[in-house]
Amino acid sequence: MQNPKQLLLDIPKWIFICAIIGILSGSASAFFLVSLEWVTQIRLHNNWIIWLLPFGGLLVGLSYYYWGESVVKGNNLLLEEYENPKKVIPFKMAPLVLFGTLITHLFGGSAGREGTAVQMGGAIADQFTKIFNLDNSERKILIILGISAGFASVFGTPLAGAVFALEVLFFSKINFKSIILSFLTAYAAYFTVEIWNVTHTHYSIPFVPEISIQTISYVAIASILFGFAALLFSRSTHFWGHLFSNITYPPLRPFIGGIVLAGAFIFLNLTKFYGLGVPVIVDSFSNQSEWYDFLLKILFTGFTLGAGFKGGEVTPLFFVGATLGSALSTIIPLPVAFLAGLGFVAVFSGATHTPIACTLMGMELFGITSGIFIAIACIIAYFSSGSVGIYKSQIVKGPKYKLYQKLHKKELQNL
């Protein structure tokens, strides 16, 4: 047990670490968000650039093959090092994933941004292991702080960011100190982005229905479908990743994938599935989306990431959820923005097994008045999204894990 004197000395040390990680990760995210907007504008004003997607993919593939083999696992490496610490995450993870994501978005790959911010935050945070000569238990705290800082800063949701970092690792032994420090770091990163005057996209649910049995029933039905969409998204990403692994020379994977993507985008005129797709997400809150939009985003994002392009899954999950919710408003008598908002966070909840963080994110983004419905949607989607999420290395236990175990045993008994 730590003696009182050492405990007192640790307080200023950890406050300093939280502040530095928050400032560095927040600054990295601010630079990333500005750079991402810059490359996106270049792509929007030069439609021909999509033809270069295969060569952009080859560039990403070569950079990881020759310099990034130790960090190619991305977010899964963070989860693995938390569960079974082996060696400090190389700092090169940060510039490599930043470069790879900007190239992916410059040439039109369908990907997100959270993975980049989280990996940069994790790589930055883990360097303090050497600086302060921390042991494995303290190193685990650093990884939590890096995830928290990256998520909070890239989305502008510090409360959700802090809880996400804890919840995604929830079944791997988290101590009380980690909880406090995660919140401190998340807010430090969030305010750093604010100081850099970098803005985030704003969404709103202008009208929230009154609580009634009928409304809750409609929300429950929609949430089951959100869970199924999350399941399909996770399975799609893993399927394409496994399929492309059959190509023995890794740099060729995004090159070949880029040829297929560029051809599909151009010849089928599917430009709204380029990049993040934020304009489509925003539009889904006011106009009903096409019923197939969410399916095509699942297809193209899974294909993009499976081929080896870089980015993240979360913003595409927002796209999938918001467009699915928007489309459901044609058959479910609830406001389009309300259903789009529920889908926005619920699909994310199901794909990452983080219903608490997603509920908090929904309230941070859309307001506390919709909190009850958001919580119902996130919990139901969490339970109906299957046992496999977007992160292969994530440990999934708890009530969901036990439920699927019971169902599996019943299936075996009936054979």
**229, 344 Cβ separation under 8 angstroms:** no
Quickly tell me which residue has 């510090």 as its tokens: 158
* CA dist list (Å): 230 to 208, 280, 349, 367: 24, 19, 8, 24
Domains 4-195 and 213-399 share a fold: yes
**224, 64 Cβ separation under 8 angstroms:** no
Q: DSSP letters along 178-235, please?
A: HHHHHHHHHHHHHHHHHHTT--------S--PPP-HHHHHHHHHHHHHHHHHHHHHHH
pLDDT for 413: 45
Q: In whole angstroms, give the CA distance from residue 113 to residue 84.
A: 26
Query: Around Cβ 48, how many Cβ atoms within 10 Å?
Result: 8
pLDDT for 405: 58
The CATH class, in words, for 213-399 is: mainly alpha
- Residues listed for the chain: 415
Query: Around Cβ 265, how many Cβ atoms within 10 Å?
Result: 22
Superfamily of domain 4-195 in the CATH hierarchy:
Clc chloride channel (1.10.3080.10)
Quickly tell me which residue has 């046992």 as its tokens: 387
**126, 89 Cβ separation under 8 angstroms:** yes
pLDDT for 177: 82
Find the helix or strand (DSSP H, E) in which 372 lies.
helix 371-383
Torsion of CA 232, 233, 237, 238, to 10 degrees: -40
- Indicate the domain borders of the chain: 4-195, 213-399
pLDDT for 176: 76
Q: What pLDDT digit, counting tens, does each position of 299-313 carry?
A: 999 999 999 999 989
Backbone dihedral region for residue 397 (phi beyond 0: left; psi -120 to 50: alpha; all else: beta): beta
Q: Which two tokens stand for residue 70?
A: 């130790």
Q: In whole angstroms, give the CA distance from residue 43 to residue 41.
A: 5
Among 93, 112, 91, which residue's Cα sits nearest to residue 101?
112
* Residue 261, burial from CB neighbour count under 10 angstroms (0-12, 13-18, 19+): buried
Q: In whole angstroms, give the CA distance from residue 187 to residue 76.
A: 24
Start-to-end C-alpha separation, the chain: 52
* Residue 364, burial from CB neighbour count under 10 angstroms (0-12, 13-18, 19+): middle
pLDDT for 415: 38
Q: In whole angstroms, give the CA distance from residue 346 to residue 358.
A: 7
What 3-state DSSP class applies to 113? coil
**53, 256 Cβ separation under 8 angstroms:** no
Q: In whole angstroms, give the CA distance from residue 205 to residue 286.
A: 10
Which positions of the chain have pLDDT values less than 50? 1, 411-415
Q: Which residues contact 369 (CB under 8 A, 6 or more apart)?
A: 208
Q: What are the two backbone dihedrals, phi and then psi, of residue 68, each rounded to the nearest 5 degrees?
A: -125, 25
pLDDT for 49: 95
